[in-house]
Structure 1
Amino acid sequence: MGVISAVRRLWRHAPFRRLLTLRVLSQAADGTLQVGMASYILFSPQSQPDAWAIAGVLALTLLPFTVIGPFVSPLLDRWSRRDVALYSDIARAVLATIIGVIIFSGLTTGAWAIVLFGALLVAMSINRFMLAGLSAGLQHTVERDEFLTASSIVPTVGPLGVVLGAVIGFAVRFGFGDLLGADKANSLVFLIAAAGFVGSVLICRGFSRDALGPSADEADEAEPTGARDVARGLAEAGRHLRTRPTAIVALALMGVTRLLFGLLSVAVILAARHLWHPVSDPDAALADLSIWGVATGAGFILAAPLVPVLARRFGLGRTAVGLQIGAAVVSLVSAFTTWKLGLFVISFLIGLAVQSFKICVDTIVQAHVDDQYKGRVFTFYDMAFNGAFVLAGVVAAFVLPASGLSVAAFIGIAVAYAACAFAMASARRRLGASTFEEGTESLTAPAGAGDSPLPA
């Protein structure tokens, strides 16, 4: 089933329409918020960021919920998920407004700097908690036999919101940068993000308090939420995962590919800031980064329709190996060019390959992990996914030059992708090729056959 036909079928459910609108609008506001953060920290006239500064931004964005997520996520099975979404975006609207006012006023030193970065940290951390709640509540907006289709469509559409919000943020930053100055334009970006969060709050208010669950039965059956109980549950999931070697291989390789993509991202940011433009011209660097972000985002979005085609033709296991080989070849080409447009095209292809591989990993983990452990195993997934990107910033600080582009580093990235392809191919031979095809019925069903969902 294609994306359009799948959405058309689900669109007849008013709760699903509202949930999808809420998710797109909230993620668009989050995309605008991220642009404001990156512009202020990395692309303001007074900043001259290096890889350590970028690693700090990544840590600020990704680490907090990665660390505390396992201990607060069980609350989503006890609290009203509609209220979680509602109050999360109320909080983010307030925080984005505070950040915008602080930057606009110029009070960005001393205690005000602590308030500023504390607000940024909390605002970014809330995002993943809210999205987890919306994912858990999705099943309450569609029929039971449509859940797999819905859970595949929503993560595909969500990134469109992020890209849209980022484009709005960049447009505001550039449109008002000359008129207001960089910092005041950045403050306006944060205020636009706050307006987006207010819009998502208004959409969320259309749900009744229990519309997204949990139901009384779900709340009664929820896992205990104490720290020891959560730790014990994660340990049980870890023991279960050790009996699923196919899932372990997929998760490990996902972490490596995420780190390699992170290295490319840091390299492009440094090149835009220090190589392609004078350090005194952050606006031009930010413009290049916006083009790079759109190119990479396009690769992410196109991965969803690409993987079913490849899986039907070659099988999921071979597709995963081929994607890594493709990433290796493209990365090797990138080692021998500093051409800006060429690197944008390369980033599109790498984004397409990495996101396509992630879809393969999602499918493998879903197929090989028992239902009662999936939530906790995906906690490991989330920790590895985000932690690897932060680690990429740290590694970049040691291996990348100030200009970002290094022949040796990019050859190393290409070799690492090739090693991932070899590891996946070896695992297919050792564990059996058929084990990597489990759970792929929705991927390999002919287009238009029944109601087969797309991959998440």
Structure 2
Amino acid sequence: MGISAKLRVLMHSSGFKRFFAIRLLCQSGDGMFQAALATLFFFSAQSQGSPGAIALALFAMLAPFTIVGPFVGVFIDRWPRRNIIVVTDSIRLALTVLIVIAIVTSGITPVVYVIAMLALALNRFLLAALGASLPRVVSSEQLLLANSILPTIGAAATGIGALVGVMLGLVLPVGNARDAATLALAGVVFASSIVVALGFGRDELGPTHHELTNSEKLSVGGVLR
């Protein structure tokens, strides 16, 4: 069974349709956001591609996944996952707006790198919450099927988002307006994800009582040890 056939089977669930839309929006928006950052940090006249600027940019783009990744499990089984998605994307939207304002008014400053790191770290948190929510929108019989195609489709959405961001950068003239436009488009996609996620009930995506009980055994200190 091909991916399209598997997807048609899953689409019979209204909950999965909404969940699938959220995942596509989140990951395509993230692709646009990362493409905009790559253009801003590596190819803009402001960064000038100096070794120090490139090293800082790589740290800003890669560190969040290493620093935040181990700790997401401490929280995604303690808080309503619908709220995690909504709040996380809301913060990402706000941070994207802050980056746009910063590059238009002040250019690439250390503040931009810090804000970018925060936004990328939140993406790792969001994807973990989505992964944990999947059993709540498909039956146990379809869970393996959903897990077999969602990572592939999600990665493709990220790639398409990045391609859209790159193409937009090629069409628009070089300058702050180009960088701001790509980031603004990512912000629009993040806002769309928030609207779709609000269609779920507060506790519809979990965690369950069993997950809440087990989460009490896991702490930040335990992860550090």
TM range (shorter): over 0.9
User: Match for residue 7 of structure 1?
Assistant: 7
Read off the aligned partner of 1:64 and give its amino acid letter: P
User: Match for residue 86 of structure 2?
Assistant: 86
Q: Greater RCO between the two (CA within 8 Å, min separation 6)? A: 2
Q: Distance in 1 between matches of 2:71 and 2:125?
A: 11
Matches within 5 A, 1:360-399: none
Q: Distance in 2 between matches of 1:69 and 1:150?
A: 23
Give the alignment partner of residue 122 of structure 2, picking from 114, 123, 126: 126
User: Match for residue 168 of structure 1?
Assistant: 164
Give the alignment partner of residue 209 of structure 1, picking from 199, 202, 216: 202
The percent identity for this pair of structures is: 33
Q: Distance in 2 between matches of 1:162 and 1:58?
A: 19
Q: Secondary structure at the match of 1:137?
A: helix
Q: Distance in 2 between matches of 1:186 and 1:23?
A: 24
> TM-score normalised to the size of structure 1?
0.47
User: Match for residue 144 of structure 1?
Assistant: 140
Q: Distance in 1 between matches of 2:144 and 2:55?
A: 36
Q: Secondary structure at the match of 1:104?
A: helix
CA deviation digits over 1:356-382, x for unaligned, max 9?
Answer: xxxxxxxxxxxxxxxxxxxxxxxxxxx
Structure 1: unaligned runs, 5 residues or longer: 233-456
CA deviation digits over 1:403-430, x for unaligned, max 9?
Answer: xxxxxxxxxxxxxxxxxxxxxxxxxxxx
Q: Distance in 2 between matches of 1:67 and 1:171?
A: 31
- Size of the aligned set, in residue pairs, is 225
Q: Is the 8 A contact 1:75 1:225 kept in 2?
A: no
CA deviation digits over 1:170-225, x for unaligned, max 9?
Answer: 22222221xxx422210111111111100111111111111111012221122534
Q: Is the 8 A contact 1:74 1:224 kept in 2?
A: no
- With over 3 angstroms needed to count, the CA separation of the structure-2 counterparts of 1:20 and 1:51, relative to structure 1, is farther
Rg larger for: 1
Give the alignment partner of residue 153 of structure 2, picking from 152, 157, 168: 157
Matches within 5 A, 1:4-403: 4-49=4-49, 53-105=53-105, 107-108=106-107, 113-177=109-173, 181-231=174-224
Q: Distance in 2 between matches of 1:46 and 1:79?
A: 41
Q: Distance in 2 between matches of 1:94 and 1:128?
A: 17
* 1:152 CA displacement: 1.3
CA deviation digits over 1:217-241, x for unaligned, max 9?
Answer: 2211225343332245xxxxxxxxx
Q: Distance in 2 between matches of 1:59 and 1:215?
A: 36
* 1:52 CA displacement: 5.9
CA deviation digits over 1:270-329, x for unaligned, max 9?
Answer: xxxxxxxxxxxxxxxxxxxxxxxxxxxxxxxxxxxxxxxxxxxxxxxxxxxxxxxxxxxx
Q: Distance in 2 between matches of 1:224 and 1:108?
A: 45
Q: Distance in 1 between matches of 2:68 and 2:30?
A: 20
- With over 3 angstroms needed to count, the CA separation of the structure-2 counterparts of 1:45 and 1:211, relative to structure 1, is same
Q: Is the 8 A contact 2:63 2:117 kept in 1?
A: no
* 1:54 CA displacement: 4.0
Q: Distance in 1 between matches of 2:28 and 2:140?
A: 28
Read off the aligned partner of 2:172 and give its amino acid letter: F
Q: Distance in 2 between matches of 1:101 and 1:142?
A: 41
Q: Distance in 2 between matches of 1:61 and 1:152?
A: 27
Q: Distance in 2 between matches of 1:165 and 1:72?
A: 24
Structure 2: unaligned runs, 5 residues or longer: none
Q: Distance in 2 between matches of 1:56 and 1:148?
A: 40
Read off the aligned partner of 1:4 and give its amino acid letter: S
Q: Distance in 1 between matches of 2:190 and 2:25?
A: 8
Q: Distance in 1 between matches of 2:153 and 2:13?
A: 17
* 1:15 CA displacement: 1.0
* 1:134 CA displacement: 0.2
CA deviation digits over 1:70-119, x for unaligned, max 9?
Answer: 234221111111111111110111111111122122x136xxx2322211
> TM-score normalised to the size of structure 2?
0.92
Read off the aligned partner of 1:149 and give its amino acid letter: L
Q: Is the 8 A contact 2:46 2:107 kept in 1?
A: no
Q: Distance in 2 between matches of 1:188 and 1:221?
A: 44
Read off the aligned partner of 2:71 and give its amino acid letter: F
